[in-house]
Amino acid sequence: MEKKGSVLMLRYEVGKFLGQGTFAKVYHARNLITGDSVAIKVIDKDRILKVGMTEQIKREISVMRLLSHPNIVELHEVMATKSKIYFVMEHVKGGELFNKVSTGKLREDVARKYFQQLVRAIDYCHSRGVCHRDLKPENLLLDEQGNLKVSDFGLSALADSRRQDGLLHTTCGTPAYVAPEVISRRGYDGFKADVWSCGVILFVLLAGYLPFRDSNLMELYKKIGKAEVKFPNWLAPGAKRLLKRIFDPNPNTRVSTEKIMKSSWFRKGLQLQDEEKESVDEETEVEVETSANASAEKEKNRCRNLNAFEIISLSTGFDLSGLFEKGEEKEEMRFTSNREASEITEKLVEIGKELKMKVRKKEQEWRVTMSAEATVVEAEVFEIAPSYHMVVLKKSGGDAAEYKRVMKESIRPALIDIVLAWH
**Complete domains list, the chain, with CATH:** 7-90 (3.30.200.20), 97-273 (1.10.510.10), 308-422 (3.30.310.80)
For residue 367, the cross-strand partners are 362, 380
Residue 292 has pLDDT above 50, yes or no: no
Q: How confident is the model at residue 242 (pLDDT cuts 50, 70, 90)?
A: very high
Catalytic-role residue among 123, 134, 152, 189: 134
50 is in an annotated binding site: yes
Mean pLDDT of the 158-176 span? 61
Predicted local confidence at residue 274, as pLDDT: 54
> CA 237, CA 229: separation in Å to the nearest integer?
15
Residue 364 has pLDDT above 90, yes or no: no
Residue 355 has pLDDT above 50, yes or no: yes
Predicted local confidence at residue 382, as pLDDT: 85
Q: What tens digit of pLDDT does each residue of 295-308 get?
A: 344 444 556 655 54
Predicted local confidence at residue 299, as pLDDT: 40
Q: What is the pTM of this model?
A: 0.66
Mean pLDDT of the 186-211 span? 94
Residue 134 designated active-site: yes
Percentage above 90 pLDDT, the chain = 46
Q: What tens digit of pLDDT does each residue of 269-279 get?
A: 885 555 444 44
Residue 405: partners with Cβ closer than 8 Å, 6 or more residues away: none
